[in-house]
Amino acid sequence: MELRECCALDATDLARIIAEREVEVAQVKACAYKAIAATNETLNAVIETWEADEPCEKMGDWGLLRGVPYLVKDLPFEKGRTCEMGSQLGKGVVCQEDSAVVDRLRTAGALSVGRTTTSEFALAAVTENRVTGQTANPWAPDRSAAGSSGGSASAVAAGMVPFALGNDGGGSIRMPASFCGLVGLKPSRGRVTCAPDPTLNYSGLVVPFALTRSVRDAALLLDCTQGAAVGDDVVIVQPKGSYVASIKEATPPLRIGVATEPWSGVKVDGDVKEAVSRVAEQCAELGHEVQISRPQFDFDRYLEAQKAIWSAYAHADIAALGRETGREPSESNLQSSTLAVYERGRAMLSEDLINALQTYHAVTRDVAKWFETFDVLLTPTCAITPRPLGAYDPDAKNLSVDSFFEEQLAPHESFTSLANCTGQPAISLPIRQSRDGLPIGIQIMTRFGDEKTLLQMGAQLEQVNPQGRESLPLIHSGRT
């Protein structure tokens, strides 16, 4: 199989041609390694590959994904693999058990071929750390791929693999999807299990999933990975039928609220505002009822609660890793932003976390009331287009938690983090570009548990904006 041909296919098409015996699994896997070799020196998205592992012929080609290669984020996903979490503190750490997501992908026939870069402990909105350096954006290698799943996004956008695993606790799948011109789905809380981690780790903010090239791939992966694991404390109502089948159905007329101004008050790039306005016009032309509206809640209280929740859990995770490795968390092995969050968590009182959780519950109810009137919230994914590498330094001197959120997180996640608070599904769609040709992600968010509507509308917008899927970035293995 030619590299150019392989890199042009999404997971759905790759699985089909493997199933129809048009190509062997070994050929597809070899193409993935060639694609990584062709582009990774420029992008720095992949840390290591598993080329020396057991031949793929013995790993099975059964299930919906039938030998499709993918990459995992540098977090504890896959048993026996190094998972350093982008940190010197985690140097040499090896994952002790498979995540349920990896196990389900293996059952579906997908083949893990390596691991990707991440921001340190997946905290920053840029994929730049002391261990692996800076990960570049395939659309413009001098620009950021965002974070924290920036390595996965850069790899998929460059054609290395059709999808890569990430996780999303404030926008960490959707933000890099926006910057790299991909589909980035954050499922509802409980839709995709976090096992063996607690379902409500980080109070349920974090959800594992993937970055993909198409909406149909997101639907396919959701079919393969959705559902609770034994012992989960959140068990969501199961869908009727498959998500792949649902996106082939006609999208019903929907009531859509549009917001181009974030609750944070951060300035939104002109190209981003224009992109959302154009998509809103398209929605009206497609027969949807569209009006300017957004949920109302106390943003200042929400922001302080967000800082408290992230600080409390980050402190617990980092302290546990320090005990495991025998290394004391300090400025010698933690970036300044991570250390600030860690220290804030260590200084917190139990009532600080309880109050933060109560604020999140109140915001969730306020947002749910808005969704009694509207089916969909349409916003930008990020307030900005891809910025130059180094524009936001997560290891800058004198960073505090407050300055970290204000200077680095707010421009990236002002629109995304709400869905993590409420647990609702949201997706970033690559259907617009800036005047200088950089991707602009459009976010849509639906009611809790309603991935069907989310994916249907996503597929509809993807169909009327084919350039989002068809355009290739500057650095792409299919160009070699």
Determine whether 119 is an active site residue: no
Alpha carbon separation from 401 to 147, 172, 405, 407 (Å, rounded): 17, 18, 6, 10
The amino acid present at 78, given as its one-letter code, is: E
Contact by Cβ (8 Å): 273, 292: no
Catalytic one among 148, 152, 203, 434?
A: 148
Let me know if 428 is a catalytic residue. Answer: no
| 20 within 8 A of 69, measured Cβ to Cβ | no
**Structurally, how many domains does the chain consist of?**
1
CATH assignment at residue 37:
3.90.1300.10
Token reading at 317: 């995770």
Q: Residues 172, 188, 337, 477: which is the catalytic one?
A: 172
Residue 30's Cβ-count burial label (10 Å; 0-12, 13-18, 19+) is middle
Predicted confidence pLDDT, tens digits, the chain (480 residues):
788 899 999 999 999 999 999 999 999 999 999 999 999 999 999 999 998 665 555 444 468 999 999 999 999 999 999 999 999 999 999 999 999 999 999 999 999 999 999 999 999 999 999 999 999 999 999 999 999 999 999 999 999 999 999 999 999 999 999 999 999 999 999 999 999 998 888 999 999 999 999 999 999 999 999 999 999 999 999 999 999 999 999 999 999 999 999 999 999 999 999 999 999 999 999 999 999 999 999 999 999 999 999 999 999 999 999 999 999 999 999 999 999 999 999 999 999 999 999 999 999 999 999 999 999 999 999 999 999 999 999 999 999 999 999 999 999 999 999 999 999 999 999 999 999 999 999 999 999 999 999 999 999 999 999 887 778 999 999 886
Residue 263 and residue 297 in contact, taking contact as beta carbons nearer than 8 Å: yes
Residue 37's domain spans which residues? 3-479
Residue 378: phi and psi, rounded to 5, are -110, 125
pTM above 0.75, yes or no: yes
Active site residue 172: yes
